[in-house]
Amino acid sequence: MLAGKSARVATRLRGGGSALPGLVVEKVDPKFLATALADLPKGVVVVTGTNGKTTTTKMLVALLRAHGLKVFTNPTGSNFTRGVISSVLGEVSLRGTIDADIAVLELDEAHALHFAKVVKPTHALLLNVARDQLDRFAEIDYTAKLLRQLAEQTTEGVVLNRDDSFVARIESTLKPNVEVSYFGVDETIAERLGELMEQDVRSDDDFVQPLVSSGDGLLLPIDDRKFLVTFADRADGSANVGPMQVRQHGLAAMINATAATSMARRLLGDDFLPATAVSALEAVQPPFGRGEVIDVDGQELELVLVKNPAGFTVALSTYGGRPVASMVAINDNYADGRDVSWLYDVNFASLRERGVELTSGVRAYDMALRLAYDGVEVRHVEPELTSALDTFLAEHPNEPKRIFCTYTAMMALRRTLAERYDLPDIGEDAPE
């Protein structure tokens, strides 16, 4: 712990490095996590899946804290095992204990299995499966296999996405003593699922969707922003959560809230309070880069993370309907995925009306070419991110702006914006 805490201080003084302290601790004590998380009275919850992990984790943490639980989490979005260790180092005492009732951890699909080898999760919330980082995961079936193996390591309960065939069928592989419930959308909006999933990669015509049971949470939108999460175990509707309106836009955000609510209700049981849940969810600020809105000299600048075809398609449908000055920043570093051919599976037609002011990042020219194929005008190409940001802000000072960016591009841009506009640190919320 002393070695890890020293590394954590050193990396913070240098301005980054959330995984390095975890590497140090892993070398000194490979069972550090098992020791630190062993005695949490309400266990360890893992949240994973291709899209929505950070947002859903933040929502679930807010729900549990609003109900009075002390929650340990990894708020920086560093969702590899070493990132979790680094977060533990910020909370653990020199005696090796964490003052918390429960841990709620966002984990990358592959690293969730590495984590489970050291710490068996008591609960798992499995969100979805989509093509992501083809150099790491290769096939969508492989990602589904990772989630299945994690669920098999879970000891008490899992919450599955009933609308995602790869996730829903995991139930048949679980141990008999593991309780299963689902989240999903109400049948009245089932036709909208195509907005979130790549139907062409799901060769599963034989799949039969699970029947809705009493513990399942279903999303029922009221309009474009307001929605309910319904539960069937109380016919009078007293178990329903909402109406409510979260601060993030779009159907994906509503589904993330439904997933978080379903898991919170499973964890809390009779202590779950619908009114408390509504207040908690409506207060959650968007995580950094996930629809985060930054005030830049009196005008809104949205940072929108994109990392795979489904995620970019959702981002365009959610944020692209209102034409504003747009920039696209694409890197191909390890954390982004080195193979960016997935950009050719995204339809960029919604950007034609206004065009794109700049493309930037390591793959700035590749992105400009891809947009050209869809008839989207690109006015500038500037691979260097800070220079591109300066140009973007200078040329559009008096109007809303939006940047679609991959992970490492988003981190770099937000770091620059934080220095200029006094933003809260990554993983922290701005004061109300």
**Tokens found for residue 411:** 């981190």
**Tokens found for residue 261:** 């609510």
**Tokens found for residue 202:** 């799901």
Burial group, residue 27, by CB count within 10 angstroms (0-12, 13-18, 19+): exposed
Q: State the amino acid at position 274 in one-letter form.
A: P
**Tokens found for residue 174:** 């679980």
CB atoms closer than 10 angstroms to residue 302: 21
DSSP 259-281: HHHHHHHHHHGGG--HHHHHHHH
Q: Cα(254)–Cα(225) distance, rounded to whole angstroms?
A: 8
Q: Cα(204)–Cα(199) distance, rounded to whole angstroms?
A: 10
Q: Spell out the residues 6+ positions from residue 108 whose beta carbon is closer than 8 angstroms to its own.
A: 48, 53, 79, 80
Q: Cα(143)–Cα(253) distance, rounded to whole angstroms?
A: 22
Sheet holding 290-296: strands in order across? 290-296, 299-305, 401-405, 325-329, 356-360, 378-382
Partners of 156 in the beta sheet?
Answer: none
Of the candidates 415, 379, 406, 409, the residue with the CA atom closest to the CA atom of residue 395: 379
- The answer to whether the CB of 302 falls within 8 A of the CB of 403 is yes
- The answer to whether the CB of 313 falls within 8 A of the CB of 304 is no
**Per annotation, catalytic residue among 135, 141, 339, 390:** 339
Q: Cα(308)–Cα(405) distance, rounded to whole angstroms?
A: 11
Note the helical H segments in 269-383.
274-283, 309-319, 364-373
223 assigned to active site:
no
- The residues carrying an active-site annotation are 339
